[in-house]
Amino acid sequence: MAPSLLDLAPVVPVVVIEDASDAVPLARALVAGGLPAIEVTLRTPAALDAIRAIAGEVPEAVVGAGTVITPDQVTETVAAGARFLVSPGWTDVLLEAMQASGVPFLPGVSTTSEVVALLERGVTEMKFFPAEAAGGTAYLRSLAGPLPQARFCPTGGIGSANAPDYLALPNVGCVGGTWMLASDAIAARDWGRVEALAREAAGLKTLRAQV
């Protein structure tokens, strides 16, 4: 059985790529730093080309599409090579498309009712978004008792300082974040620095094991 998306690495980098030519070296830096699961968000015109490039040239990366909000985007990103899908929220129509895609997916939730609705539909792995604004670790901790079968990738407002608090929770498999993607490093194409920041983030797995 393939490992869960939530178990590939403690941190999933949430990448916004403005220039598709940056996609491959950026992905290689993240993978070298120990973060193989890479979420490329559909927030720029370069996103699909970036996913296609990473899928084709960095096979050791597990590239996924983020900010997926329509069935057409599900189809387009999977065709481009996305190996997982992440949405900020979900509807029945979007959920059906993601379930039919054949790849793992994390539908976004921010309320208990949304979690229960997904559990009813057989979905147990979800994105908790926007994590800090929606209640943070206190909210997730309160869900672990009545809904222990639900597991989350919290994203939104998470950085190196509070990521360990999330990762210590029993119902959190990984977190999403951007702190290893320093804008000045990417602008300068300083992939060595990105790799170093990724390695620090990947080290949270060791820290988690000690909690």
Catalytic residue, chosen from 39, 60, 125, 200, is 39
Question: How are strands ordered across the β-sheet holding 105-106?
Answer: 105-106, 85-86, 62-66, 37-41, 11-15, 175-177
Question: Known catalytic residue: 127?
Answer: yes
Q: Which of 127, 195, 200, 205 is catalytic?
A: 127
Look up 205 and say whether it is catalytic: no
CB 107 within 8 A of CB 122: no
Cα–Cα nearest to 65, from 86, 46, 43: 86
The strand pairing partners of 40, in sequence order, are 15, 65
Active site residues: 39, 127
